[in-house]
Copies of this chain bind each other. A is one copy, B any other.
Amino acid sequence: MPDGLGARLPAPLFERLALIGVGLIGSSIAHVARRKGLAKTIVATDAEPAVRKRVSELGFADEVAETAKAAVRDADLVILCVPVGAMGGVTQAIAPQLRDGAILSDVGSVKGSVIAAVTPHLRPGIHFVPGHPVAGTEHSGPDAGFAALFRNRWNILTPPEGTDPEAVARLAEFWRAAGANVEVMSPAHHDLVLAITSHVPHLIAYNIVGTAAHLEEVTQSEVIKFSAGGFRDFTRIAASDPIMWRDVFLNNKEAVLEMLGRFNEDLIALQRMIRYGDGQGLFDLFSRTRAIRRTIIEQGQETAAADFGRRAAEPDE
């Protein structure tokens, strides 16, 4: 029978959680795991000595390990929070140290290529359950994390065929306890869905900011001055971590090129409407897109606050 204390503090889901890479996502996992008591011990590490030093200062991990290899020792949950292109190398380094029965997961924005890079290094008895928490901000690094980042956001798990259902269920429980919703789908479908909801949007945001930066007729100072007309919102997305996004595009090439092809087709149709003055066609499209936003707000993935005008950030006089 539980004593008073035991009844009030539920047992942690994991004994020892190892976070490999402590950027925005890694530090946010540490914050929420500590706040909700999801692991008895949180150990964190990062390839950058400066990041490890900062994590020690910030104090959101119980231990800061010098190497990934040292960090995973005895861990029953290991989450790789490194750029997609680094997943294979890190797994190779840690694989011999992984404890039998450990759950290994990741937070990469691409799943097919991560599975291909990680799986060959794993021996039987290690449960690899790839995941992708669809949440973020344009800030990066260990100072950027916060416990509420995953709340009411979706985490997509993409277990390869044959994965132990018990391991999937335990990881799903971890993420639900962190405030997230959990969805399970195939890696290939994940990569297609994210190509249109995340990768191509980032690509065109990076692209318009790049186009604006090297015009001859319009100065960069004018672009910045008059950015409140819409451009500003694209720079927010185009300020996301360059290494992370380089790796996303290199590792989800097929789906991104496929979705970009569709975007281009549609853009050409829109361009023709403008050229030939098809006001009805423009009005119809612009009305449909407005309705989609309403649905996103209704489903709790966005608030209706007029952030476009930054009203919240600029209180009325």
**Chain A residues in the interface with B (C-beta under 8 A):** 35, 109, 134-139, 144, 146-149, 151-154, 156, 183, 189, 192-194, 196-213, 215, 217-218, 220, 222-240, 242-243, 245-247, 249-250, 253, 256-257, 259-260, 262-264, 266-267, 270-271, 273-275, 277, 279, 282-283, 285-290, 292-296, 299, 301-303, 305-317
Contact = CB atoms under 8 A, between A and B. Distances in A.
Contact of A237 (B183, B198, B218, B230): B230
Given A197-B226, A263-B211, A309-B136, A285 B154 contact: no
A136 B229 CA distance: 7
Contacts of A225: 154, 183, 299, 301
A198 to B, nearest CB: 3
Contacts of A209: 289, 292-293
A310 B149 CA distance: 9
A84 to B, nearest CB: 12
Given A292-B209, A317-B148, A233 B230 contact: no
B263 A227 contact: no
Given A154-B226, A197-B223, A230-B237, 10 more contacts: A144-B306, A148-B316, A213-B289, A240-B290, A245-B282, A246-B282, A250-B279, A250-B282, A253-B275, A312-B313
Given A289-B213, A292-B209, A250 B224 contact: no
Consensus secondary structure, chain A interface:
helix
B227 A193 contact: no
Nearest to A247: B279
B311 A148 contact: yes
A59 B13 CA distance: 57
Contacts of A192: 217-218
20 contacts: A135-B309, A136-B308, A136-B309, A154-B226, A193-B226, A196-B215, A196-B223, A201-B208, A201-B231, A204-B267, A206-B270, A210-B266, A223-B292, A230-B237, A232-B296, A239-B290, A242-B282, A245-B282, A249-B282, A257-B275
A139 B242 contact: no
A156 B316 CA distance: 23
B235 A296 contact: yes
Interface centre among A153, A230, A301, A305 (most CB of B within 10 A): A230
A306 B136 CA distance: 9
